[in-house]
Amino acid sequence: MTAQNLVNTPDNRLVVAVDGPSGVGKSTLCRAVAKHFGAQYFDTGAMYRAATLAVLRAGVNPAERAAVIAATKNLNITLDDQTVLLDGEDVSEEIRSQEVTRMVSAVSAIPEVRATLIAQQREWANTTPRCIFDGRDMGTNVLPDAPLKVFLTACHKVRAQRRYEQIIASGGHTIYEVVLADVIQRDTADSMRAVDPLHPADDAIILDTSDLSLPEAIDTLISLVEESAEGGTS
C-alpha cells in the first residue's frame, strides 16, 4: 500500500477522524501522518481556540452566552497546516496562550458556537480529497461516518509533561503543576459538557500513547490508516 493509491471511501477519498483529550499529541501525530499520505490536516481544536481568542479580544466574558455567540458568529477562520488565521491575521502562537487555554472549554461548550464551526468542518471534509481531522467530537458528532475513527489517550501526567515541554520550547513561561491542573480541569469540563461531551465513538480504535515514543505512535497511526484503506477497520 502506497500513499499514491491509498483509498478509504467509496468515492476514492481519505477521511480520518481523530479524537482525544488535551495534550495527548493529536496535532503532532496527525500532522505527521497527513504529511506521509499527502493529506490535508485540520486541527479543529485550533478553530475553537481562535474563536475563544476573538471572544477575549472583544472583552466578552465567556459566561455571557449571547455575547459570545455574537462575537463568534461571523468569524473567518482558516487552517493551513501549522498556520491559523483569524480574519486574515496569523494567530497561531496567540491561541496557545494560557489565557485562551483556560477559557476555551467554556466557549466550546456553547451549542451555537459549535454549530457554526462544525458546519465549516463538515464542508472541508466533503470537499477535500484526503483529510485528517483531529478534535474532541469528530468521530461521535462531526464525522460519524468517517471510515476510520481513532481515539488517542494518555495518562494525565504524561500529557501535562508534553504540554509543559511544548510551552517552554515555544518560549512560554509556566510550571508543571499549573499545566497538570489545567489538563485535569480541561478533561473534566470536556467530558461533562452537555453538548458533544468528550468520549470515544462506539466504533473508534483506542490508541494509548502513554508508553509510546513519537515515532512509534506515528507508525501505529499510519498502519491504522492503511488498514482502513484496505477495509481492515471498516
Q: How sure is the predictor about 22, in pLDDT bands with cuts at 50, 70 and 90?
A: confident
Q: Where are the domains of the chain?
A: 14-227
Decide: residue 231, CB within 10 A, 0-12 exposed, 13-18 middle, 19+ buried.
exposed
Number of H helices, E strands in the chain: 8, 8
- At 27-69, the pLDDT tens digits run 899 999 999 999 999 999 999 999 999 999 999 999 999 999 9
Integer distance in angstroms from the first to the last C-alpha of the chain?
Answer: 17
pLDDT higher than threshold 80 for residue 111: yes
CA 49 to the chain's CA centroid: 10
Pick the CATH number of 14-227 from 1.20.1250.20, 3.30.70.260, 3.40.50.300, 3.40.640.10: 3.40.50.300
Question: What is residue 3's predicted lDDT score, i.e. its pLDDT?
Answer: 57
Number of residues assigned to the chain: 234
Q: Would you say 37 and 3 are in contact if contact means Cβ atoms under 8 Å apart?
A: yes
- At 152-176, the pLDDT tens digits run 999 999 999 988 988 898 888 899 9
